Structure 1
Amino acid sequence: MALSKLKLHWQILIALVLAVTAGLLVGREAGFFGASLYSALDFLGQLFLNALKMLIVPLILSSMIVGVSGIGGASDLKRLGAKTIGYYATTTLLAVLVGLFLVNLIQPGVVDGDPKAVFGFSADATALQEQLSGRDGGDVVDVFLRMIPPNVVSAAANGEMLGLIFFGLLYGFFLTRVAPVYAEAQYNFWQGMFEIMMKITDLVMRFAPIGVFALVARTVADTGLAALGPLALFFLTVVLGLAIHTFLVLPLLLRFIGGVSPMRHFQAMGAALLTAFSTASSSATVPVTMECLEKNAGVSNKVTSFVIPLGATINMDGTALYECVVVLFIAQAYGIELSFASQFVIVILALMTSIGVAGIPAASLVAITIILAAVGLPLEGIGLILAVDRILDMMRTAVNVFSDSCGAVIIARREGETGVLQGETFKPKSGG
């Protein structure tokens, strides 16, 4: 069978395997006729990532406006919004609790001997312990200020999706409350833009295997696999937490609340998960996620256009789990015992800051600095995780996207849609 005849997710998976091999063989120094292979990989990967990012603002804005205006009255919007927010809050809390349990059970930061000597810290653990009392999470208020941007065009240009989604929600809501002559013209315009953006998404995704190969090969050439050694226990703690959430918690929700087969859903979302993994950007994956849900899983555009853009901004299960594990790992590395109250603050902050994290690579590092400052831990601790952050970023982004997709399926089923992942309706499409 020709490669182009394979389904898109298989093409991406093959590219992923080849990329790891190529990255290990090429490294940063290899060249061909004077040209750096690493630079070529960087160019191709960035080109693909730029193409996905190019779609984000017009796709999210058009899908949000069309989705909200198509929902119906205020009561329908309120019902769908309540279900969406409720799902996102529940799964994020479950993810944080999984991380909290594992990091306390495994204790990856606990070492024999002086932590300062082992990790090379400059801060004094005794002094830090005294500073931990009385800290709060006031710094996260800024996250909520970004919900209402003073300039929506600037918010779009700077990738501030929370403000853009809020504007789109208002626009779609009031689109249904103007005179029909104006409403019809506006609706047709935004619906047309949405259809065009999905067509462009189809085109971009034809080149996904090449983009994935370049992005992953570049990452492996950068970090290699040796970086995992010194932080193996921390790395495994995070991976185990993400795996439990992805393969146990979310499938249970799909089965018992959504009433659908988790295995069918994994198959339907294959291309989106692999794209999320390779790009480490949940925002850049939005077009692919929506396409997989509508074409493969049979979820209506009404649900996906509301749930997925919102989820890419506020539903960060993998990120919240990671933030919780990182902060407690750093505290353990300093030899500091955090009280239940301090750990509760970390849980709340992980929930709140994950809402405002931009859906781009390494954005969670910013949220981690907020949590560290709030509980009184020095920012130098972040240096501990940088060696493995990129690989874990790719993994947690895939978890974020999978949780969004599960939310869309569950909410569609709770809204009474009968064709979601059911029997003959489930027909994954090829990407080529």
Structure 2
Amino acid sequence: MSEKKKLSLTSRIVIGMVAGIILGTFIRYVAGDNAWVSLYLTNGLFDVVGQIFITSLKMLVVPLVFVSLVVGTCSLSDPSKLGRLGGKAVGMYMITTAIAITFAITAAILIQPGSGIERASDADFEPSEAPSVSEVIVNLFPDNPINAMAEGNMLQIIVFALLFGISMALIGKPGERLKGFFDDLNAVIMKLV
């Protein structure tokens, strides 16, 4: 007997996205501007389910990043590799952030949202001054890691997780006991994802 092969999370996400596009297109062409569809499906069921999904993703980001980095960092047996891991983690965060910003700016330039719409406003926008390089480096280290997690400050969470994992790796027996807890917590969070 052959077992069914489980689809990966990425495959299921792509299938869900394609199914959503097909369903949305189908409803748009079949129902058109039907008030019932707009009220109960689009702004009702789909909106509620979508908001719950987005909120659930936001809920998982901080614990997933923190626990995964702590587990990964404390699992390294050679302390000399820890510096490279930290550099790679911060580097990957910077690269993915730069890609996201580039994509967003490019999309905004191509699509030009809001063009042709003139709204009167008496609000003035005064941009704040960019922080100096030394401020940016100092701000990588959280003065309160719990507050950084509550605010979703990912760079501070990454730095704290790496320092926490390094400390666990270097402390010996207590770190090994704590590593077991974080391994279990990581398994729970992965299941939740």
Match of 1:48 in 2: 53
| Contact in 1 for aligned 2:76/2:169 (Cα 8 Å) | no
Share of identical aligned residues, percent? 29
**Corresponding residue number in structure 1 for 2:192:** 200
Structure 1 distance, partners of 2:93, 2:68, is 19
CA distance in 1, matches of 2:76, 2:151: 29
Q: Provide the residue aligned with 1:155 in structure 2.
A: 148
- For residue 18 of structure 2, the aligned residue among 7, 14, 21 is 14
177, 181, 192: which one aligns with 1:185: 177
Which position in structure 1 is the counterpart of 2:123?
Answer: none
The counterpart of 1:80, out of the listed 73, 82, 85, is 85
Structure 1: tracts of 5 or more residues without a match: 110-117, 123-135, 202-432
- Taking the aligned partners of 1:138 and 1:86, their CA distance within structure 2 comes to 21
User: Paired residue for 2:64?
Assistant: 59
2:170 is paired with a residue whose SS is coil
Contact residue 69 and residue 175 of structure 1 kept, 8 A: yes
Partner of 1:70: 75
Deviation at 1:157, TM superposition (A): 1.9
- Using the TM superposition, give the Cα deviation of residue 184 of structure 1 relative to its aligned residue in structure 2, in angstroms: 1.7
**How far apart in 1 are the matches of 2:101 and 2:61?**
28
Partner of 1:36: 40
Which 5+ residue runs of structure 2 have no aligned equivalent? 121-127
Query: What amino acid is aligned across from residue 60 of structure 1 in structure 2?
Result: V
Report 1:105-144 matches (<5 A).
138-139=130-131, 144=137
Determine which of 151, 157, 160 is the counterpart of 1:167. Answer: 160
Provide the C-alpha distance between the structure 1 equivalents of 2:192 and 2:46, rounded to a whole number of angstroms: 23
Whole-angstrom CA distance in 2 between matches of 1:28 and 1:160: 42
In the TM superposition, residue 144 of structure 1 has moved relative to its aligned partner by: 4.8
Q: TM-score, normalised by structure 1?
A: 0.32
CA positional deviation for 1:45: 0.7
Q: Is the 8 A contact 2:74 2:169 kept in 1?
A: yes
Q: Which residue of 2 aligns with 1:128?
A: none
How far apart are residue 200 of structure 1 and its match?
1.7
Q: CA deviation at 1:97?
A: 9.0
User: Structure 2 CA distance, aligned partners of 1:67 and 1:168?
Assistant: 10
Query: Does structure 2 conserve the Cα–Cα contact (< 8 Å) formed by 1:62 and 1:194?
Result: yes
2-structure distance, mates of 1:91, 1:59: 17
Distance 1:164 1:44, change over 3 A: same
Letter in 1 for 2:147: S
1:138 counterpart SS class: coil
Aligned-residue offset at 1:64: 1.0
Inter-partner Cα distance in structure 1 for 2:59 and 2:161: 18
Give the aligned partner of residue 125 of structure 2: none
For 2:96 and 2:152, how far apart are their aligned partners in 1?
A: 25
Distance in 1 separating the partners of 2:41 and 2:104 = 38
Counterparts of 1:187 and 1:37 in 2: how far apart (Å)? 46
Aligned equivalents of 2:85 and 2:138: distance in 1? 24
Contact 1:30/1:37 (8 A) holds in 2: no
Letter in 1 for 2:61: I
What is the correspondence of 1:271-286 to structure 2 with a 5 Å cutoff? none
Is the Cα–Cα contact under 8 Å of residues 140 and 159 in structure 2 kept in the other structure?
Answer: yes
The 1:194/1:82 distance shift into structure 2, 3 A limit, reads: same
Instruction: Report if aligned partners of 2:169, 2:176 keep a CA contact under 8 Å in 1.
Output: no
CA contact (8 A) 2:71 2:165 kept: yes
Distance 1:7 1:63, change over 3 A: closer
Distance 1:44 1:97 in 2: 30
CA contact (8 A) 1:68 1:172 kept: yes
What are the Cα deviations for residues 249-274 of structure 1, in whole angstroms up to 9, with x where unaligned?
xxxxxxxxxxxxxxxxxxxxxxxxxx
Count of paired positions: 172
Q: What secondary structure is seen at the aligned counterpart in 2 of 1:192?
A: helix
